[in-house]
Amino acid sequence: MDNVSQIRMFFLSGLNETNNHRITLFLLTLLCYCVILLVNISVIVTIIIDKNLHEAMYILLCTFCMNELYGTAGFYPKFLWDLLSPVHVISYSGCLVQAQVMYSFACADLSILSVMAYDRYVAICRPLEYHSVMSKQRVIVLACLSWLTPFCVMGINVFLTTRLKLCSPFIARLFCVNWIIVKLACFPSETTISSIVAYIAIVMAKFMQTCVPHLTSLLIFLVAISFDVLSMKFGSKDLPQTLQNIVAVEFLVIPPLMNPLIYGFKLTKIRNRILGVISLKTK
């Protein structure tokens, strides 16, 4: 048991079947990450510099895009490094940090979407009260809570994981996820509390009815997350490693790419502002 408690490094085996396509995968991943950075930063900067966009809907959208940058930063740099490295390892503390980022990012996306849905509900159903209900100060508080609450809940979950004694340093994934670390515990009975907290975290974001963009974004995100959660919960040993990898990174590729397009470039004010800047630069 002394050896078990001294695990200081995890070995990620998710890339073992991609040895022949590392360079191609690296270039595609780098391109994808650059596009994610470009579209999200474009929306954020546009909202910040244009005072006409300092309204509830745009403040929430800015928070949403910032969360996309936060979540993808926890995955892409390490993944790109692993694609060029012959050994795929991550320290124990680094693995826990990555698990914290992945979980808090996913849940924060849902909570921010919930606040955005409430904003649209008030705008449509209570238009005369909109500016008093969704004041700038209240929106900022809601935006902060929608990120801090998942972060704290996930922090508790990861903290409980640090108390477990692990029997294996091998993780058959591209990145660290708390549930997978918990499954490495020597004594399954010790994981009960962690499992309960994880279930609470999964169901804590209750979503309300809203408009098409919110439902589209929510559907994309929930489908991506559901595949990943189901594969972790019920096992995926019969699936090829490549398919497991695609399922695992889906929520780190599709939502960060699609959300700025669904929200940011669909909104007339932001689209016109970005197109105006582009046209000025081309003259």
Q: Note whether residue 155 is domain-resident.
A: yes
* pLDDT digit string, tens, across residues 44-76: 998 898 888 888 888 988 998 999 999 999 999
- Residue 101 is predicted with a pLDDT of 92
Q: Note whether residue 43 is domain-resident.
A: yes
Report field, pTM of the whole predicted structure over 0.85:
no
Give the rounded percent of residues in the chain with a pLDDT score beyond 90. 13
Question: Per residue, what are the HEC states of the chain?
Answer: CCCHHHCCEEEECCCCCCHHHHHHHHHHHHHHHHHHHHHHHHHHHHHHHCHHHCCHHHHHHHHHHHHHHHHHHCCHHHHHHHHHCCCCEEEHHHHHHHHHHHHHHHHHHHHHHHHHHHHHHHHHHCHHHHHHHCCHHHHHHHHHHHHHHHHHHHHHHHHHHHCCCECCCEECCCCCCHHHHHCCECCHHHHHHHHHHHHHHHHCCCCCCCCHHHHHHHHHHHHHHHHHHHHHHHCCCCCCHHHHHHHHHHHHHHHHHHHHHHHHCCCHHHHHHHHHHHHHHHC
Q: Which of 65, 64, 154 is CA-nearest to residue 115?
A: 64
Domain, as residue range, for 189:
9-208
- Band of residue 186 on the pLDDT scale cut at 50, 70, 90: confident
* CATH code: domain of residue 91: 1.20.1070.10
Q: Which residue has the higher pLDDT, 274 or 168?
A: 168
Q: Note whether residue 55 is domain-resident.
A: yes
Mark 14-27 as b/e (b = at least 16 C-beta within 10 Å).
bbeebeeeeeebbe
Q: Note whether residue 262 is domain-resident.
A: no
Q: Note whether residue 222 is domain-resident.
A: no
Q: Note whether residue 241 is domain-resident.
A: no
Give the rounded percent of residues in the chain with a pLDDT score beyond 70. 64
Domain count, the chain: 1
* pLDDT digit string, tens, across residues 132-161: 888 888 999 999 998 998 899 888 888 888
Q: Note whether residue 140 is domain-resident.
A: yes
Q: Note whether residue 235 is domain-resident.
A: no
Q: Flag whether pLDDT at 86 surpasses 50.
A: yes
* pLDDT digit string, tens, across residues 91-123: 988 999 999 998 899 888 888 888 888 888 888
